[in-house]
Amino acid sequence: MTDVEEIKRRIVELDVEHRDLDAVIEMLTRDGHHDQLQLRRLKKRKLQLKDYITLLKMQLVPDVPA
């Protein structure tokens, strides 16, 4: 498996985790009986995933000379 294929596979995995976290956060906030600390941790993890996905996507873009 090439590096590009590995990066694309990892992006898909992280996208799935990001969407799952979004669903969990939505469910907890809609429920009204949620732990604020848990909710903050989930949101922080979601942001970390987004940043990592962005970083991986940047690795897929070829360098263009200025």
**Which residues form the domain of 10?**
3-59
Token pair in block for residue 42: 């989930």
- Answer for the pair 56, 10: CB distance below 8 angstroms, yes or no: yes
Is residue 17 included in any domain, yes or no? yes
User: How far is the CA of 27 from the CAs of 16, 31, 38, 48, 61, in angstroms?
Assistant: 17, 6, 13, 20, 35
Q: What are phi and psi of 18, to 5 degrees?
A: -60, -45
For residue range 2-56, list pLDDT tens digits in order.
899 999 999 999 999 999 999 999 999 988 877 899 999 999 999 999 999 999 9
Number of domains present in the structure of the chain = 1
Helix (H) or strand (E) holding 62: none
What global pTM score does this model have? 0.83
Token pair in block for residue 25: 């956060």
